[in-house]
């Protein structure tokens, strides 16, 4: 069975969508599938083309996955109008260059944003094959939630397009339970919606934690003797990563190091605020490679996962919780809703009220001071993710779903049930 997956992100980009797609596609190839990925030139989130790439059509093979990169308008992940222009350019370029590709058995396209989904729908129609829509975030609702745009005529027009995509898709894959009601209300048949949450490749992550490199990391960042509470990921409008700077200013324990690692639209503002504050217990570190970030995350003592306290963000599940659990790093969680339910069920850490720096400090202090609680969170989180969210198992369930939608039941594979 041949799958064409349309996505604006793919490695060497290191964000969650790129990792999810790569790890799924790699497993599908192992299962005997043929996988083409139609994606952009790597540039996220700075809006600068990565070294070794050019903003033109190119092809490469990554662990058996055929990757087709298309040119587009490249811009940083900031400013709604520029980003929308970038999205539209990727949509047009993907549709145009898809003519180069062999006919797939079905097309999958992911969101956010739905311009990628529009490209997938058009390509599927051209080839005359089923179209599967993957919903990783509710867009354009998330634009309004972070304050990037007011809910105006443009947003309402986007919402009409969104509903059309739900109606037209042969199947919709949601990464959270909470999205399902919205998707069905938007016009999807409930029988054609499946939840396949994110996860982590537990064995690969555990095996990639290099002890020699870990020692280098701790020396390089000055972490020897420190208890490191770190936010790792995109520094965007939704995340309010500056809460770690606020926590550093209020923390009474000088041995706790508050760290933010990454880049994004709000990084410059955080860097300026950190420079003004001049706190010795706060550290802002540049974005790291995917290979190195695993070791870095494994050397932190607490993974801080945080989103703004808005109703929409109670429906999302940040993928970084799965990586933390896989590496045995307890979580300080500032996200309400489905994510909090999951982390508490796993016993993988403690929740605190989002956007409350005092509550964050209290949570990290408790994890540092209660060794029994800390070690139990390490153990329970690892057990839970291996039982329920091991990514190769999820990829197999995804593959079987695609085989059913494509009408190729012979391509199905056995799947070990979740514990």
Mean pLDDT by 10 residues, the chain (419 residues): 97 90 97 97 89 96 97 81 87 96 97 89 98 86 58 74 91 95 92 95 79 86 95 89 97 97 90 96 90 88 95 89 95 96 97 97 98 97 95 96 97 80
Please state, in angstroms and rounded to a whole number, the distance separating the CA atoms of residues 281 and 254. Answer: 7
Q: Say how many C-beta atoms besides its own lie within 10 A of residue 386's C-beta.
A: 18
Which residues, 6+ apart, have CB-to-CB distance to 366 below 8 Å?
350, 373
pLDDT of residue 146: 54
Alpha-carbon span 190 to 137, nearest angstrom? 18
Integer Cα distance of 91 and 72 in angstroms: 9
| Helix 338-346, helix 371-388: angle, nearest 10 | 110
Please report the pLDDT score of residue 240 as a whole number: 92
What are the boundaries of each domain within the chain? 2-199+390-411, 202-388
Helix 211-221 vs helix 290-299: angle between axes, to the nearest 10 degrees? 80
Distance between alpha carbon 328 and the CA centroid of its chain, in Å? Answer: 19
Give φ, ψ of 312 to 5 degrees.
-60, -40
CATH 3.40.50.2000 fits 2-199+390-411, yes or no: yes
DSSP E strands, 112-192? 131-135, 171-174
pTM: 0.90
| Residue whose C-alpha is closest to residue 418's, from 381, 393, 383 | 393
Joined together, the tokens standing for residue 259 give 């760290």
Helix axes 114-127, 80-97, angle to 10 degrees: 10
Within 8 A by CB and 6+ apart from 247, the residues are 229, 258, 357, 360, 361, 364
309 CB-near residues (< 8 Å, 6+ apart) = 336, 353, 354, 355
pLDDT of 149: 57
Please name the helix (run of DSSP H) or strand (run of DSSP E) that holds residue 122, with its range, or none.
helix 114-127
CATH architecture of the domain formed by 202-388: 3-Layer(aba) Sandwich (3.40)
Angle at 110 between CA 316 and CA 107, to 5 degrees: 145
Instruction: Give which of 414, 415, 385 is closest to 197, Cα–Cα.
Output: 385
Q: Confirm whether 2-199+390-411 and 202-388 share one CATH topology.
A: yes
């Amino acid at each position: 069975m041949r799958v064409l997956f349309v996505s604006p992100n793919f490695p060497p980009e290191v964000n969650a969508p790129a990792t999810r797609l790569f790890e799924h596609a790699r497993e599908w190839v192992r299962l005997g599938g043929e996988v083409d990925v139609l994606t952009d030139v790597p540039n996220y989130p700075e809006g600068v083309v990565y070294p070794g790439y050019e903003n033109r059509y190119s092809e490469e093979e990554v662990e058996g996955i055929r990757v087709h990169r298309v040119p587009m308008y490249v811009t940083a992940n900031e400013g709604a109008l520029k980003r929308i222009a970038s999205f539209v350019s990727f949509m047009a370029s993907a549709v145009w260059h898809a003519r180069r590709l062999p006919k797939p058995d079905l097309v999958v396209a992911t969101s956010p944003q739905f311009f990628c989904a529009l490209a997938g729908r058009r390509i599927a129609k051209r080839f005359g094959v089923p179209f599967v829509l993957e919903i990783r975030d509710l867009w354009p609702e998330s634009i309004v939630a972070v304050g990037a745009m007011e809910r105006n005529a443009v947003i309402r027009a986007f919402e009409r397009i969104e509903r059309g995509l739900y109606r037209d898709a042969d199947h919709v894959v949601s990464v959270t339970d909470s999205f399902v009601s919205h998707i069905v209300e938007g016009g999807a048949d409930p029988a054609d919606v499946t939840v396949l949450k994110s996860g982590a490749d537990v064995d690969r992550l555990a095996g990639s934690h290099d002890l020699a490199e870990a020692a280098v990391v701790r020396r390089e960042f000055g972490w020897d003797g420190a208890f490191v509470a770190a936010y790792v990921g995109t520094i965007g409008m939704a995340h309010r990563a500056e809460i770690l700077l606020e926590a550093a200013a209020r923390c009474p324990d000088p041995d706790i190091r508050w760290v933010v690692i990454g880049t994004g639209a709000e990084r410059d503002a955080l860097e300026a605020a950190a420079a003004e504050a001049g706190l010795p217990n706060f550290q802002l570190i540049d974005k790291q490679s995917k290979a190195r970030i695993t070791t870095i995350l494994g050397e932190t003592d607490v993974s801080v996962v945080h989103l703004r306290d808005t109703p929409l963000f109670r429906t999302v599940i940040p993928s970084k919780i799965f990586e933390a659990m896989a590496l045995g790093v307890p979580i300080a969680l500032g996200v309400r809703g489905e994510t909090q339910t999951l982390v508490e069920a796993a016993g993988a850490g403690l929740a605190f009220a989002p956007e409350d720096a005092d509550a964050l400090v209290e949570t990290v202090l408790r994890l540092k001071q209660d060794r029994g609680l800390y070690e139990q969170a390490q153990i329970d989180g690892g057990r839970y993710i291996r039982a329920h969210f091991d990514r190769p198992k999820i990829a197999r369930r995804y593959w079987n779903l695609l085989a059913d939608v494509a009408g190729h039941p012979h391509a199905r594979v056995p799947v070990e049930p979740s514990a």
